[in-house]
């Protein structure tokens, strides 16, 4: 005859251990008078806890989500008890706890893969890339909370529908620092980062199927903006009385004549300035973005800035070739400079790199292979994006040629005049 056992689950909080009014929730398993506590790894505000009803008070989204979580855990613990009974196994608080945690050994969540990814991959990524991953993870958290009313999802719950809903959610997002909704390529980049983390989970055998298998993200090709020779000359020649604006202008123009990105430029030290094979000064460094070596022969205008800042106190203290500033401030100050120069384009520091590729180099006959080397691109196809812009320049030049051909020559004018006489 099978002995009937008594089983119950009670949720409680340890108020005496509260910190900043937050304390952990426990599940107390009682079976045949034997009690055992399990930490549910969730915390609550002690003022919102209803000990009689064993749940949070109120109807806030957080209260609903946590109370739903507690009901799920109660159901799971009861199922563990039932399974042990059906198997004829020894039933005790310890075996139920063991089954409870055993059933969760392979149930990894989004937060689990975020933590694993950040702990194991961030050391291999650049600081700016890690910042972008954190932004993407926060968007995912916001999406899960809004659409699913929860703080986390198990990875096994992810499917094609999840990815589509996340894309739609991103398209409606308006970042604080940006007045418009996220643009298409920004949406795709966030999805790509989610996909990389989910693929990592798949390779770790944390999930059995890839929810992205039917999803085909695509980036829209965008023409690179750049300054025309006239716009570049305006920025070079504008008189700037405010030191911060002059400093940013100098850095920007230096980049326009070297193609060195902002992130690489502020890291330059005197050790990066060397005598090249032509017995002239070169900048030799490695791109922070991809590690590619960059060798840039210095044009006279770029060299002039290095001479100007050679004895600069800030450069001496920081052992830099040029003064430094944050990218955010640089872009903000460039907006002021653009206004002073009457330039309507969205002037950002990265525009300097595009200007070097188009206006300074390709438009003046520098081979695209050489430009690709100077820019530190891994693939020539990346540089060819700039070459497409040059097609416009070719058209403009041919139009000027046509105008010259249409003008009568001086000898033709004289002959025409004689014939009339």
CB neighbour list of residue 323: distance below 8 Å, 6 or more residues apart: 247, 251, 309, 312, 314, 315
Q: For the chain, what percent of residues have pLDDT higher than 90?
A: 45
Q: Helix (H, G, I), strand (E, B), or coil: what is residue 84?
A: helix
CATH superfamily for domain 229-403: Intergrase catalytic core (1.10.443.10)
C-alpha–C-alpha distance, residues 322 and 329, integer Å: 16
State the DSSP H helix or E strand holding residue 7, giving kind and residue range, or none if neither: strand 7-13
Token pair recorded at residue 266: 């502020």
Q: Which two tokens stand for residue 217?
A: 């993200």
Tokens of 225: 């903006």
Asked whether residue 287 carries a pLDDT value surpassing 90, the answer given is no
As a whole number, mean pLDDT of residues 152-179 equals 85
| CA 253 – CA 309 distance, rounded (Å) | 14
| Whole-number pLDDT of residue 265 | 93
Paired residues of 26 in beta bridges: 12, 39
The more confident residue out of 180 and 64 is: 64
Amino acid 17: pLDDT? 83
Q: Which residues contact 155 (CB under 8 A, 6 or more apart)?
A: 108, 109, 110, 112, 113, 198, 201, 206, 207
Q: Which pair of tokens denotes residue 364? A: 């003046």
Residue 216 parent element (H or E): none
Q: Cα dist. 152→23, 54, 331 in Å?
A: 20, 22, 37
CA distance 97 to 76: 11
- Average confidence (pLDDT) over 379-401: 73
To the nearest whole number, what is the mean pLDDT of the chain? Answer: 86
Provide mean pLDDT across the span 107-127.
89
120 versus 222: the higher-pLDDT residue is 120
User: How would DSSP label each residue in 305-360?
Assistant: HHHHTTT-HHHHHHT-SS----HHHHHHHHHHHHHHHT--S---THHHHHHIIIII
Q: What is the pLDDT of residue 224?
A: 66
The confidence score (pLDDT) of residue 170 equals 94
Residue 1 pLDDT grade (very low, low, confident, very high; cuts 50, 70, 90): very low
Cβ–Cβ under 8 Å, residues 255 and 356: yes
Q: What is the pTM of this model?
A: 0.57
The answer, yes or no, to whether residue 293 has pLDDT greater than 50, is yes
Q: Where are the domains of the chain?
A: 7-102, 110-203, 229-403
């Amino acid at each position: 005859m099978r002995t009937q056992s008594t089983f119950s689950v009670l949720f409680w909080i340890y108020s005496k251990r509260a910190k900043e009014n937050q304390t952990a929730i426990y599940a107390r398993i009682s079976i045949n008078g034997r009690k055992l506590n399990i930490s549910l790894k969730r915390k609550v505000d002690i003022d919102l806890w209803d000990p009689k009803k064993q749940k949070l008070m109120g109807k806030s989204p957080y209260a609903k989500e946590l109370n739903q979580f507690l009901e799920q855990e109660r159901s799971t613990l009861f199922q563990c008890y039932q399974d042990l009974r059906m198997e004829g196994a020894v039933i005790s608080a310890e075996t139920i706890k063991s089954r409870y945690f055993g059933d969760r050994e392979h149930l990894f969540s989004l937060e689990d893969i975020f933590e694993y990814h950040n702990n194991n991959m961030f050391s291999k990524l650049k600081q700016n890339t890690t910042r972008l991953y954190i932004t993407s993870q926060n968007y995912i958290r916001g999406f899960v909370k809004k659409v699913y009313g929860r703080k986390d999802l198990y990875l096994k719950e992810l499917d094609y529908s999840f990815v589509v809903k996340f894309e739609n959610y991103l398209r409606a997002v308006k970042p604080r620092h940006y007045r418009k909704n996220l643009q298409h390529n920004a949406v795709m980049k966030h999805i790509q980062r989610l996909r990389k983390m989910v693929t990592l989970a798949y390779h770790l055998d944390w999930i059995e199927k890839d929810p992205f298998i039917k999803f085909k993200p695509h980036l829209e090709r965008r023409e690179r903006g750049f300054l025309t020779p006239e716009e570049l000359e305006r920025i070079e020649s504008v008189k700037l009385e405010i030191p911060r604006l002059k400093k940013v202008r100098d850095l920007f123009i230096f980049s326009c004549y070297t193609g060195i990105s902002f992130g690489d430029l502020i890291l330059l030290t005197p050790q990066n300035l060397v005598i090249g094979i032509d017995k002239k000064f070169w900048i030799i460094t490695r791109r922070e973005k991809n590690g590619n070596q960059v060798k840039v022969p210095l044009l006279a205008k770029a060299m002039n800035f290095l001479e100007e800042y050679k004895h600069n106190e800030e450069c001496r203290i920081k052992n830099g070739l040029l003064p430094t500033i944050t990218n955010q401030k640089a872009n903000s100050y460039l907006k002021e400079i653009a206004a002073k120069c009457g330039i309507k384009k969205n002037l950002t520091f990265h525009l300097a790199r595009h200007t070097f590729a188009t206006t300074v180099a390709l438009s003046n006959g520098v081979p695209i292979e050489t430009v690709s080397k100077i820019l530190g691109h891994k693939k020539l196809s990346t540089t060819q994006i700039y070459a497409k812009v040059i097609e416009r320049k070719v058209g403009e030049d041919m139009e000027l040629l046509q105008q010259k051909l249409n003008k009568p020559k001086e000898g033709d004018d004289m002959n025409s005049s004689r014939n009339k006489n």
